[in-house]
């Protein structure tokens, strides 16, 4: 038989504690934690319980999706960040090309050294 957390505590845990000398009224308390608080747009916002699907994943539909607030950086900052990323990507492409050329030269080095050695130029 499946038990809820409260049933498990009442039927199994509390009696075991009482059997070891604890008093249910004075020594055993249920402590409830505060609801979690999220910071949305620099303001505290109490987290609401989201509906769960049977597999434990969150149900997403237009009703609960419309309540989601996604903070975004100002458009100027986004443009600056995008430009920096583009510069970095261009630099990476340039470096990748240079490294590929150097790798090719390194791979040809043993053959070039052997050629020079057999030509008595080393």
- The whole-model pTM stands at 0.38
Residue 120 within a domain: yes
Residue 91 within a domain: no
Residue 118 within a domain: yes
Query: pLDDT, tens digit, for every residue of 12-64?
Result: 888 888 888 888 788 877 777 777 788 878 888 887 766 556 566 667 777 77
Query: pLDDT, tens digit, for every residue of 105-116?
Result: 999 999 989 988
Residue 119: which domain range?
A: 97-122
Total domain count for the chain?
A: 1
Residue with tokens 């309540």: 67
Residues in the chain: 122
């Amino acid at each position: 038989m499946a038990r809820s957390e409260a049933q498990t505590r009442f039927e199994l845990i509390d009696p075991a504690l009482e059997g070891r000398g604890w008093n249910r009224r004075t020594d055993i308390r249920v402590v409830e934690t505060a609801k979690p608080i999220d910071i949305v747009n620099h303001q505290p916002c109490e987290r609401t319980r989201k509906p769960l699907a049977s597999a434990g994943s969150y149900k997403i539909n237009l009703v609960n999706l419309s309540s989601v607030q996604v903070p975004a950086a100002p458009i100027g900052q986004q443009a600056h960040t995008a430009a920096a990323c583009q510069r970095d990507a261009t630099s990476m492409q340039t470096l990748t090309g240079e490294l590929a050329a150097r790798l090719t030269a390194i791979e040809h080095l043993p053959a070039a050294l052997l050629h020079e050695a057999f030509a008595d130029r080393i």
